Each structure stands twice: as C-alpha cells, then as structure tokens.
Structure 1
C-alpha cells in the first residue's frame, strides 16, 4: 500500500502507508496527491487530516529511490506541499512517532499541525551532506523561530514534539494531543473547518533582532565544527535567506544550494556511508526472516580491558552478564574499572544514578566455568594466543548448554581452528570488538566455515541491539580490518626508511582527515602488539618484507604511551606526542646501515601509498570472498580505524580518484627500489575493474 483515504463524518483522513517509515516514494506521492485532490473537490468534506500508518508520520524521502528518476518525478515533494497549501479546505497534519526530513517539510505545507507527545522531529539532511530541499530552511524558521530552527537544521538531530511545543511564539505545533491522536485531530479539524483565511507558514515572518551578527557567528561556528563538510555552513546561508529575502526567492536559493551540494564529493561520501551502513546488515545467503536464537544472558571470559568493555555493551542494553576470571583480584579489578567508567558518566551528567545502579545489578562474577553454563552466549576475551584459546574453548564445549553461541573476540586468529576445539563448530563465531569496546562502533562478525546461519542472524541482531555497526568477515589472518592495516603499517615503515619522520607521516595522514596517523596510533595501541604479530609473520611468511625500524623501537622498550615512550616521547599524565630526537637518530642510523640516502617525500605520496595499500589489499579480500561487498570494507574503516568520513572509506575514495589513476600510482610505487614491488601489482579484481571501466561501488 502507499496512501489511503477514509471519511470520518465531514473530515477526510489521508493515511500515508508505506512501511517501515512511510517514505515519500513516487507511488506514495501519486496516491497521496490523488486523495488530496479528491477530498478537496468533494463538497461533503470540510477538512482534511494527514497522518501516517504504523510507527511513523513520515521519515521523509524513500531511500530506495535515492539517485533514481523516481526521486524527482512529478508529483515531487515540492508539488505535494504546494497542493496542500492551495487546498480550499483546512489541512491538518497529525504528527506522531517520527516526523523527519521530507515528512516534516510536508507537515509544514499543511495549514495546521497537531502532535502526540514523544514524536521525534528533525530535518536530518545535513547528515548526508545536504540542506533540506523542499522548503525546510524557509518554513521551519518561520514556524519555530530562527535560532531554534537553525540549531535543528545545522545539527540534523531530532527534538521531541513536547519540547518544541514549549518554544515561545512557535507556530509549528498548534495543539499537543494526549490520548488518541486521530480522535484529537478529528476534533481539532471540526473546530477549524470554518476558519478563513487559511493560515500558511510561508506567510509568517522569520525575524532576528541582530541578524547580521548572529548569522556570521553561526556560519563561523558551523565551519569550525564541521571543517571538512560544506553543508552546515550552507544551512546557515539558507536560513539567513529566510530572514532577509522574500519567501519565493529563499526557496530558489535553497534549491540551488541543495543541487550544488548533491554534486560535492563530501555529499557523495556521506550518502555512500549512509547506504553502506544499512547494507552491512544484509548477508547474501542469510534471509532477513532467518529464525534467531533467544539471548537472555551473556557470559564473558576475561575481566581485562576488552572483557570489561564488552560486558558494558550488554549491561547498557539491559542484558545480564556473568564475567569469569581465574583469580578473584582480576575480577575485582575488572568490576572496579566498569564502576569507574559508569561513575565518570554519572559525574558528567551522561548517565542517571538509577540507570548506573540498574546496570551494575545486572553484572555477576564467577571463578568457575560450571557457573556460566546456562548463558545463551559466551564471548571469550583472553590473550591472543591459539593455545590459550584452545584451553578456553575446550572448557566451554564441556559446560555450555546445547544451542549456546560460543564467540571469540580474536582479532587475527583462525576462527575455524578455534571451532575445531569444540564438538559444535556450527555454534562458533568470531566477534571482534574494537578497543575501547564500550565506545567503538565497529563489530567484525567472523563467519567460520561451519557457522550456522541462525547464529549469524542472532549475532547481527544482537550487535544492533548494543548499538554496533556489524560487518561480516570471512576467515583469514586479520579478517578485514587488521589484514588491511598490516599493509598500511608496512608502507609507513618503508616511508621512514626512505626519508620521513614519524611526525611527517602522521601530519600528512591527519591533514587528509584520519583521526590519528599510523605512528600515534601505534603508540596508543601498544607497539609490542605489532611486534608480537611480526615475530609470527617472520616464521609463517619469511618472504614478506618489513622495515626493521619498528622492531628496533621495541627492542628499546618503547612500546608507546603505556611505557611513556614510543615513536614519540610522553610526559607523565599527558597524551601529547612529543617528537623524539632519540627515535629520529635511530631511524637515521638504520638508513645508514641500509645504505639509503634520504629523500624529500611529498604529503601526497605519503597519503596515497598508505591509502592505496589499503585499497589493493581490500581488492584481494573482495576477490577471495572474505568481504561480500566493497561498502562493507568502507564501514570497517569508517567505524573502526578513523578513516575520514568525508572521504567515504578507502574504496569510495579510490572510486572518486578514478581506479585508472589509482593503478597508475601503484605502478609508480612498484618502481621504487625501497618499496615492495610485488605488493604493488594490482589485485586481479582491481585490474579487471580498470580494464572494464568500472568502480568498486
């Protein structure tokens, strides 16, 4: 269904009915327009109520039509709004649950708006790099006041209807309705049926006592807060037009800004990320209606940094957790850390005291495997060593009830091998949380060869419940993220040997938009972790070449922030990275030993060697079926590795640069005698896409 019309006495009720959020797709718009026209032409109808079926008034544009001809086909949203404004009978929007984007713009075209409490109201277009495109920047300031409206438009964040109803002088919500919304809307419609002239939001004035100073301040703030994104500042420009220009001129200005932003790389990157996040939850061979296993209790093995962080995710979601350790003092430390984290949130006003107490009440501890057997899912977060994992999983296999999901938080190890330590490999899955696990959004869900489909479906749904972005990976060393980051780190090491300093590499990458460069990242995570992996590599892959600079650093005991020294020096109690003369001399001495004369390396070369190393390895991951789609790889890097959002992820960035150009750069890198020529041979998938003129997306 798309839209329906029913009669309640002399009032026509037009219901948007396009699940799940009543998106304003082409078929819905056509049906809606026909119902409005029919009601307006019917002499027996005195008023028209507009509302939405199910759990939304309207979430706005139908995302399935983004970028297609249907998105702008007539009647488009602007035409619907004009139709509502020109109705000869009062139109009343009955808002509930969700009223966002085009849904809010549609309601602003009605003569009146009534609302149920608790409705989330927003113009979120800025979050995909756009300004509202159907009059939102012109009507909302007129209905709500300039400052409140601008804050909503620039942030894109939802505000509850009852909060907006309290804004002094607002004309957005004519009446709040407790109880039955439709009954209240019908009563309101009867009250206003004879009122003339019909009020129009477009005829209201948008004013500000010191508009020039206010808009300049707002523009400067928007640019400072979102320096890589043009949309927030353009939102300010559009709202300024609502104050300074006539309505129709402001509408033209808004539309021109919308169209111009649509073509920017930042908007394309944000839209790509928007769709990629939704696509990540879809597994090609696991239908959405796959039955899920009930998860009422979680067990976590290990009370260290990862175990405690993992536990907090489930406590936050109201799921009981039993945490297991081998020694009481380790359990006590783990519980104390969880308490400390929650108490810090309470102190900052981010968590209420009663919520903190509820969460801690859900946590129990034990020293005995026999006491976790009734949990529906167990996640081990022990030391990253296959023999340690073996010992844990053999015990889990013995004590966990049938049907329990056995998950490993491994970041690199073979999940199939871990599954082989049990008699139930179909119940084993990898759940690679990222540190700090209670903060980072990414969860790599590692699918073993035997992992059951209902296990995957359950873990993906559970990940959503604990507010993670879940991406499915196949089994390989490092899965998606860490397998790629190894090549990135190798290139960073080669750059040091060829002439860069750690701070030059970090500065170039951070200027590109990464949250942190590779050397600052190493110091934060612990350089000994990479050293441990490299030692394993030297045995397993003796032909893979690494710069020895990182090993030399670790031999000096410079593991990073935790030892007060790594690639940088650190002052106790502070995290500021201070360039180290000792490290620079160590690198220079190593260059001399290799017979390398340092050269000047541009920021562009630094960035492209690092980013394209991710791209080439990712192309191999796609070819091997470790990831099912390129957008999944982008989500891993956007949510787990600090890749700049305005670039859309490594695969999106490669597409925007042109894969032909990416491969040409890779050929140039391969000619560098100090780099790894074999690695820079384009992955077969990448070479094929270039030959066919295609992109990853």
Structure 2
C-alpha cells in the first residue's frame, strides 16, 4: 500500500511510501483522500498527522503524469477536502516539500519540520505557476513579499527561514519527527477554530508588487510565467479565496498551453534524458575516484579543481613554473573567499576545500591520482606532449581526460598506451560556476570510463552531455557558423551593435561582439600590427583589445559600460573595402536567419553524424553552456516550434550569402519536407 494509516492514541497517522520522492501521483492522492474520510468517520480520532517514509516529504507532482489526462481525485480538490477537515491536520515535513508537496502542507492546519527540510514552489522554472492553490495559500500564510520571493523566484527555503516567515509552526528534532509531530497533534487537538489557510488574510505592504517587479526586471525579462505568478499573488491579496483560485486556474491553463512552458518543460525532461547513455548497461562498473590531478593552474584549471575540492576530493594541481602555480593557487583561495563573503559557503567549508589542494611542479606527483584532467593551451602538439608524459607517470587504471574545446580526442588518446582510459571532459568557463560538461566519448573509451565520468559529473553538480569526437564537439561546432556569419555580416554593412541587439532581443544574455570584447580580442593574436588578415587583427593592431583596454568592437567607460564605437565601425568599413566587400543595409531578419538558422542546421548535421545522442541533448548544451534562453527550449526545440520548413526556407533565401561551402543538412531538409520535428 502506498498510503497507510495507523492510530497512535487519538491521532491518526497517515504515511506515504511512494519511492523515490513520494510524488503525488494518482494512488497517493486517492490514498490521502480516503485517509481524510477515515479520520472524519472515526469518533476516536481527534487529530491527524501526514508524513512520509523514505528520504523526503511529497517532493512534487508525478512527472510520469505530465501531458496525460489527470485522474480523480485531482490535487486541488483533494487539498480542499483536506483543509475542510473538521479535525486538525499536521504536516510533518522532512527532506523537500516542493510544488504540490508544499501545497499539500499549506492545506494542512499546522506544519512541523526538521531543521534540514527545504520547502519551495519551483513551478515557475517549468513556465507555469503552482496550480493547486499555492499562489493563494502561501501569501495568506507568509505575506505577499515572502510569497513573491518563493513563487516568482522559485528557489526553496530552509526550515529555519520557514519558521521565521511563519510557513511552519514548529521545528522538530532531527531523527525524531514522527514522535514530535504526534505530540504536536495531541497538543492542538482541541484548539478551535481550526486555522484554515483559505480563511486568512494575505498581508501586502504598499507598493510591494511594483518594487518586486523593478528589483527583478532583468531576471524576469522575456519570461511569461513570473508576471503570471505576480498576478496570481496579487489576486490572493485583493480577492476572496475562491475568486483567487479562479484567477490561478485561468492563468495556469494559459501557461500550460504556451510555447514557453512547453519549451521549459522540454528542458526539464531533456536534462534528465541527457544523463542516460545509449548502449551503456545500467550495471556498468564505476572506477572509484578518490583523488584528482589537474594540469594547468590558469583560470580553467583552477576552476576545474574547485569542483572536486568542494566535494571533498583532494586535487594535485600541476604547473610548469612556480610563479604560475602560485598565481593559480592564490586565485582558487580568492574564489573561495568570495564564496564565503557571498554566503554560498562557510569559512570552515572553504578552509577544508583549500586544504585539499596540493600544488606541484612535478608530473611524478600525479602518479597516484585516479583521474587526471589536462587544461593546457588549446594546441594539439602541446596536448599530445602532455598525454605522452601522463602515460608514463599515471598509475594503471587512471582515467586521463582532456579539457579540449575543439581538438580530436582520438588523436590525443593515440599517443598513449591506454586509449580506452582516455576521454574528453570539456568544462565551460568559469568551470567552478558553469553547469554544463561535455563528456567526449572517444572511439576506444571504455564503458566504465564513460560511466564514471557521467557519475562524477553528477557528484560535482554538473549537467553532463555525451558528445562524439568531431571538431568542436556539439556546442562549439554549432557556434562556429553563428560566429562566422556574425563576422561576415559586419563586413557587409551591419553594425556590431545591431547584430548584438538582435541576439539580446532574442533572449541571449550577450551578443557575439559583446562576448568577444569580454573575452579579449587578442586571444590567439600573433602580436604583429602589420598583419591585418581579420577584423579582429585590425582592431588589435589599433590597440582595441576589448573591455580590458577600454575599446574593442565597442567603446567602454570606467564602469565598463559599452557604447557603439564610430572608430571600430570605421576600421571595419576600411577592412571591408580592402577586401572588395560592398556594404549595404541589413535587416534584423537576415541577421537571425544567417546566425541562428545556420546554427540549427549544424545541429542537424551533428545528429546525422551521431555526434549527439538526441536532439534534446543539443538543447541542453545550448541552454546551460551558451545562454540560449530556456523559455525557447534550445535551438532544436525552437526550430521545432517555428517549423523546420521555416528554417529551411530561410536558409535557401540566404544561400548565396552563406558561402560556397554551405550545405543544408539532409536530415533537416527531410524532416521539413515531411512536417516532422527533431524532438
């Protein structure tokens, strides 16, 4: 039985046991509804406790029911019956009470939680809002200001904060929740009237909604669900409960049908699908990783090291020169100090992490590491030299990984005597912050090595996507045509600021030329001002290196605020003239078609060649690695939504300008002709 009941004195204890997260599926809802009826019918019962076995309270809806007709009792109706109970009901919370789980707790008359518990309404992240009364009950319990933070922000709060804002009534002792919940129920069994949430008044300070919108405008830009959440919470303040519920239900009906919510739900499932590797048996043995080596103490190497230090895995970090090593170690320490300052970790946690870092100048010190990740200069000869050395010093069975962004992992593996232990682990910068990890499976990479890398990714809180070996793997391979077209567009007459504006209006956090200025235009520059073979070289030759020099494609003030640069535009126009390229007026539509449709086209080629397992993996790469707006679901989902025929027609329209080597993906063309989609 998923829901069981047992009497302890005059308290009916209702227990859910629906592993792994006690999701509120049909059987759970039905069992809870019957338990409420049982309590009402038994005169010996004076109060009810609802709790869960396993690792968590109800952690939300049952995702296997998404997109299917819901069976009765549905959650809103079940919760109304729960709140209407004539006998007090106590929610006993441990683990996480999220979404429908917290809505269930809010419909109870009292709430008790252990200090480690977390509570939240994260539906906004799926492009929807809490649809079982959460937008109406939470403001009535904690007030409008706290409800806005929880519902529009979507982040859970801890039990201590929940107690402070009035979300829970009492903290229990860890490990003793069941007994203390029963004692609490006995204590309040005769208290009347029952504190029904729907009968409370939602408190809102004057101007709270306007102030919240202003403070969060940047985070909410482009998203539809946050504004709908605000509207629903405002209804809780201004309308009776029943009318507020009608507002909530109307809003969620609209949101569920929207392209944005479909895209955000797509990414939710895509993220989980990406963790599954086709053809990899579930029982593939993992290689224990208890120590890590990192080669290179620069920005990337230091960031990679932090991922492992932060979960308690010791890291030996190697550099060739003492000065570079000292600088890298100091940067890691500074990053941890910033984490403490911002409240992301305690001083004790930071100290423990830093103490696990061992700096060295000798390859021999990497001999005991279970995993060694190379993060050196992006040059094949340099990387081959590193792996040849590693092959001699690394212990038998050690995993050897390259952080290469573009290069052939099989060619790197070939210089070792153990290619089955070599793979790519492409972190994104800053590596200690960015969520995405491309795990590159070489031709000879063993199943155990691949499975271990995927498991480790989860341990260090990364979203891992398996990629095949090709130039740039998934993300950077698709980035190249976008960047090539952006570069060509400014030669043909588009201003860098116009191209960037199209990207910003689309929903990207930055355009390609903002990004180039931020990274530095002199990356890979040969330093010869007389050689001007690209626009970037022409800009660098004039001392325009990007933000760090105060000028690049844009001009920057002392606060690094950008403005379009007449000087840069003149340099670009002169360069175009020197190449015989006539400049003209370019429309926003042309920018989109040449930059974004070509990106989708390259994604289709990645799929054709089997370099990505599924279209949704490509979407995950672009959402978590390149800033593709999550409400557009990634490039392949976006192409599905606008229609693959639209993409193909746009590519045909621009064909003469896309270069002599451009070809439309046969997979894209075939799907467009048949009216199919990638996802």
Structure 2 equivalent of residue 266 of structure 1:
260
Structure 2 equivalent of residue 641 of structure 1:
626
Q: 1:54 to 1:667 in 2, by over 3 A?
A: same
Contact 1:669–1:677, Cα closer than 8 Å, also in 2: no
Structure 2 equivalent of residue 182 of structure 1:
178
Aligned-partner Cα distance in 1 for 2:105–2:7: 20
| Bigger mean CA deviation after superposition, 655-664 or 83-92 | 83-92
Q: Secondary structure at the match of 2:48?
A: strand
Matched, 1:422 2:416: yes
- TM-score normalised over the length of structure 1: 0.91
Structure 1 equivalent of residue 611 of structure 2:
626
- Considering only aligned residues, what root-mean-square deviation do their CA atoms show, in Å? 2.4
- TM-score normalised over the length of structure 2: 0.93
Contact 2:593–2:654, Cα closer than 8 Å, also in 1: no
Q: 1:201 to 1:349 in 2, by over 3 A?
A: closer
Choose the corresponding residue for 1:499, options 493, 498, 508.
493
Choose the corresponding residue for 1:567, options 548, 553, 568.
553
> How much has 1:13 moved relative to structure 2?
2.2
Aligned-partner Cα distance in 2 for 1:112–1:562: 56
Structure 2 equivalent of residue 32 of structure 1:
32
| Bigger mean CA deviation after superposition, 473-482 or 493-502 | 493-502
Matched, 1:304 2:298: yes
Matched, 1:234 2:193: no
Aligned-partner Cα distance in 2 for 1:592–1:504: 20
Aligned-partner Cα distance in 1 for 2:211–2:296: 50
Matched, 1:687 2:673: no
Structure 2 equivalent of residue 323 of structure 1:
317
Contact 1:494–1:675, Cα closer than 8 Å, also in 2: no
Contact 1:57–1:95, Cα closer than 8 Å, also in 2: yes
Q: Secondary structure at the match of 1:625?
A: coil
Structure 2 equivalent of residue 98 of structure 1:
96
Superposed CA offset, 1:252-275 (max 9, x none): 011111111222333222222222
> How much has 1:556 moved relative to structure 2?
6.0
Aligned-partner Cα distance in 1 for 2:86–2:237: 28
Contact 1:223–1:232, Cα closer than 8 Å, also in 2: no
* Number of equivalenced pairs: 672
Q: 1:288 to 1:200 in 2, by over 3 A?
A: farther
Aligned-partner Cα distance in 2 for 1:196–1:304: 65
Aligned-partner Cα distance in 2 for 1:400–1:274: 39
Contact 1:218–1:236, Cα closer than 8 Å, also in 2: no
Give unmatched runs, 5+ long, in structure 1. Answer: 533-546
Matched, 1:610 2:595: yes
Matched, 1:207 2:203: yes
Structure 2 equivalent of residue 537 of structure 1:
none
Q: 1:286 to 1:424 in 2, by over 3 A?
A: same
Q: 1:340 to 1:111 in 2, by over 3 A?
A: closer
| Bigger mean CA deviation after superposition, 187-196 or 14-23 | 187-196
Contact 1:297–1:321, Cα closer than 8 Å, also in 2: yes
| Bigger mean CA deviation after superposition, 291-300 or 107-116 | 107-116
Q: Secondary structure at the match of 1:508?
A: helix
Structure 2 equivalent of residue 123 of structure 1:
121
Structure 2 equivalent of residue 23 of structure 1:
23
Contact 2:501–2:511, Cα closer than 8 Å, also in 1: yes
Structure 1 equivalent of residue 530 of structure 2:
none
Aligned-partner Cα distance in 2 for 1:424–1:377: 14
Aligned-partner Cα distance in 2 for 1:193–1:89: 7
Structure 2 equivalent of residue 410 of structure 1:
404
Aligned-partner Cα distance in 2 for 1:305–1:200: 54
Contact 1:223–1:233, Cα closer than 8 Å, also in 2: no
Q: Secondary structure at the match of 1:202?
A: helix
> How much has 1:430 moved relative to structure 2?
0.4
Contact 2:127–2:631, Cα closer than 8 Å, also in 1: no
Q: 1:687 to 1:530 in 2, by over 3 A?
A: farther
> How much has 1:494 moved relative to structure 2?
2.0
Superposed CA offset, 1:625-655 (max 9, x none): 1111111111111121122233222112212
Superposed CA offset, 1:51-83 (max 9, x none): 1121111111112222222xx321110121022
